[in-house]
Amino acid sequence: MTFRSILRNSSETRAAACFLAPSVCGVILFVLWPVCETVRRSFTDARGASFQGLANYESVLGNSAFRLAAANTARFLCICMPLLLAGSLALALLVRAVRRGARTFRTLYLLPMAVPVASIAFLWNVLFHENGLCSRVLQACGAQPVDFMGTGAAFWVLIGTYLWKNSGYDMILWIAGLDGIDPGYYEAAAVDGAGTWQMFRRITLPALRSTLCLTAVLSLINSFKVFREAYLVAGAHPHESMYLLQHLFNNWFEALDMGRLTAAAVLLALALLIVLAILLRLGREDA
């Protein structure tokens, strides 16, 4: 390597460092430092002054509201994730199978993502309030009106909203994965006498493994955004069936209970990191 090339490389390195410096400083200031401060505060009192050891974690794990919120959140994820992944994959296969009007179907399925959160909350009240449309239909049939958002049905309304809003987005991800499969595999399988189900099980599903991991990660992240609709409709204290960790964190923040709030946030972050690490490892193994 000549002296001139060394100077050129060093100047390029300095230029790259200058361009990266604002982003690196922003990540350190607005991401890394708050994370480190959250971990530190989880071991201190509410003021962050005196060291408390694991007292905050013991208080969080022994708190009945935390256990209720964690159980509801886990239940929500365990039901929604399989339904969303399977349903959006079925929509993707349907859209690819329907040649005529496929673009229109894609647009229709993506429309829920453009609906403002406030409009969804208004729609909930119109449909599921005690004096809403669904209760009026029940009254017309001779039944008693039901306040769906004040019963266990609120949980299933929340699930339906999440599936309706995110199915189109996941469908696009599945379509991208399907487009990446070599059509020659299907042609060779058809020549060998393979049926539709055999080609789906032996070719499509294995080829979509990395897409599955990516879609699952994004769906997991998006699942925590459903709190916005729930909060606008039912407030900080909804029916216990839809009382999620986001409600609990919001209430602890309003009460300035920073010790338990930071400890619970650390526990949630660790749980999510474990799940994400498993999903990403599965995707790397496929690659």
Which CATH number characterizes residue 182's domain?
A: 1.10.3720.10
What is residue 83's predicted lDDT score, i.e. its pLDDT?
93
Q: Which residues 6+ apart lie within 8 Å of 165 measured at CB?
A: 112, 113, 115, 120
Residue 262 lies in a domain: yes
| Total structural domains within the chain | 1
Question: Which residue pairs from 52-57 have beta carbons closer than 8 angstroms and sit at least 24 positions apart in sequence?
Answer: 52/259, 55/259, 56/259, 56/260, 56/262, 56/263, 57/263, 57/267
Residue 34 lies in a domain: no
Closest CA to 238 of 226, 230, 227: 230
What is residue 3's predicted lDDT score, i.e. its pLDDT?
46
Q: Which residues of the chain are under the pLDDT cut of 50?
A: 3, 6-7
Residue 41 lies in a domain: no
Is there a contact between 249 and 261 (Cβ–Cβ < 8 Å)? yes
Residue 35 lies in a domain: no
What is residue 5's predicted lDDT score, i.e. its pLDDT?
55
Hey, is 44 helix, strand or coil? strand
What is residue 66's predicted lDDT score, i.e. its pLDDT?
92
What distance in Å separates the CA atoms of residue 186 and residue 173, rounded to the nearest whole number? 21
Which bin fits 193, alpha (ψ -120 to 50), beta or left (φ > 0)?
left
Residue 107: domain span:
70-286
Tell me the CA distances in angstroms from 54 to 95, 228, 260, one per residue in order: 52, 31, 10
pTM, entire model: 0.81
Residue 32 lies in a domain: no
Residue 223 lies in a domain: yes
Cβ neighbours around 168 below 10 Å, total: 20
Residue 42 lies in a domain: no
Q: Where in 203-257 does DSSP place strands (E)?
A: none
